[in-house]
Structure 1
Amino acid sequence: MPSKNELTVAGSFENLAKISDFVEQAAQQAGLDERSVYAIQMAVDEACTNIIEHAYGGEGKGRIRLTCSVQRDGLQIEIYDQGVAFDPDEVPELNTQAPAGERQPGGMGLFFIRKLVDRAEFTFGTRQGNRLTLFKRREASHD
């Protein structure tokens, strides 16, 4: 049976620890293994840092709302903000083969988010603002 929890905090770096704890509890409730818990925490931390820095242009300029829903096969997290919309299609794809000094700035956080979760979907301009939906699948048990 799916369960859903919600957390709303001011968009500030000091609240990242509270967000991480919230995500950890939900991930454990969803039965994610330790590695998957860490991965979803890192993805959410990166997304929330980007909201604070880019969507809001600094700390204390808006709120971040998270919902964590335990699904049959994993954990879905929705992150909402009212900041400047972000279109991931406008960010050039990160060339991981190029030397670090030759890479275009930007895109590293988006690259990591997509690598850390099984699905990342961006929705903008909704009544609720911007929404990032992340999904991390529960690994099959090998008993």
Structure 2
Amino acid sequence: MKIATFPANYASVRIICNIVTEHAKTINFSSRELYGIELATDEACANIIDHAYCGENLGSIHLFIETTDKEIKIVLEDAGKPFEPAEVLPPDLESPLEIRAERGLGVFLIKTLMDEVNFENPEPGLNRLTMIKHAKELATR
């Protein structure tokens, strides 16, 4: 279900994250999982602004959310520069903090925090990121 279209800027990121979190709260997620969903959404939106559009207010972010009692599916679409996840190098998590790159953890965080992540370019000029988080059974929490 399409929720809305937002200008690709950092003010919109907060709004998008709030909407996603409110939908996620209807599912049996722990507070830690809710934070992870919000963080993954924040990172995804920031990547759209910084990498697909190369700056604020240069395009739009389309938000779609589907929920069941067991999962949330978040879809973000943009018309920016295509993204090729295979070109993203894994982050260096072993080096001391002072010599690590200051950026570059977004895709890693998204893939770590969400259960399913799919980047696709279904047609020219359209980038789609689908992120799914499954609720764990209460007995396993």
Fold conserved (TM > 0.5)? yes
1:108, 1:42 → 2: CA distance?
A: 12
Q: Tell me the residue number matched to 1:112.
A: 109
Between the two proteins, what is the percent identity of the paired residues?
31
> Is the contact between residue 24 and residue 72 of structure 2 (CA under 8 Å) also seen in structure 1?
yes
78-87 or 23-32: bigger deviation? 23-32
- TM-superposition CA deviations, 1:112-134 (whole Å, max 9, x none): 11111111110025267101110
Give the TM-score normalised by the residue count of structure 2. 0.88
Letter in 2 for 1:47: A
Q: Tell me the residue number matched to 2:53.
A: 56
1:100, 1:70 → 2: CA distance?
A: 38
- TM-superposition CA deviations, 1:61-104 (whole Å, max 9, x none): 10001111113531111110000011111011112112234446
> Is the contact between residue 7 and residue 22 of structure 1 (CA under 8 Å) also seen in structure 2?
no
Matched, 1:99 2:96: yes
1:9–1:73: structure 2 CA closer, same or farther, 3 Å change rule? Answer: same
Aligned residues: 140
1:33, 1:5 → 2: CA distance?
A: 25
46-55 or 21-30: bigger deviation? 21-30
> Is the contact between residue 11 and residue 62 of structure 1 (CA under 8 Å) also seen in structure 2?
yes
Structure 1, unmatched stretches of 5+, are none
Letter in 1 for 2:52: A
Corresponding residue SS for 1:16: helix
- TM-superposition CA deviations, 1:8-56 (whole Å, max 9, x none): 1000111111111110111012332222111111001011011111110
1:5–1:75: structure 2 CA closer, same or farther, 3 Å change rule? Answer: same
Matched, 1:71 2:71: no
1:131, 1:72 → 2: CA distance?
A: 24
Q: Tell me the residue number matched to 2:123.
A: 126
25-34 or 97-106: bigger deviation? 97-106
2:5, 2:61 → 1: CA distance?
A: 6
Aligned-residue RMSD, C-alpha: 2.0
Q: Tell me the residue number matched to 1:43.
A: 40
Corresponding residue SS for 1:142: helix
Give the TM-score normalised by the residue count of structure 1. 0.87
75-84 or 116-125: bigger deviation? 116-125
Corresponding residue SS for 1:78: strand
1:55, 1:125 → 2: CA distance?
A: 15
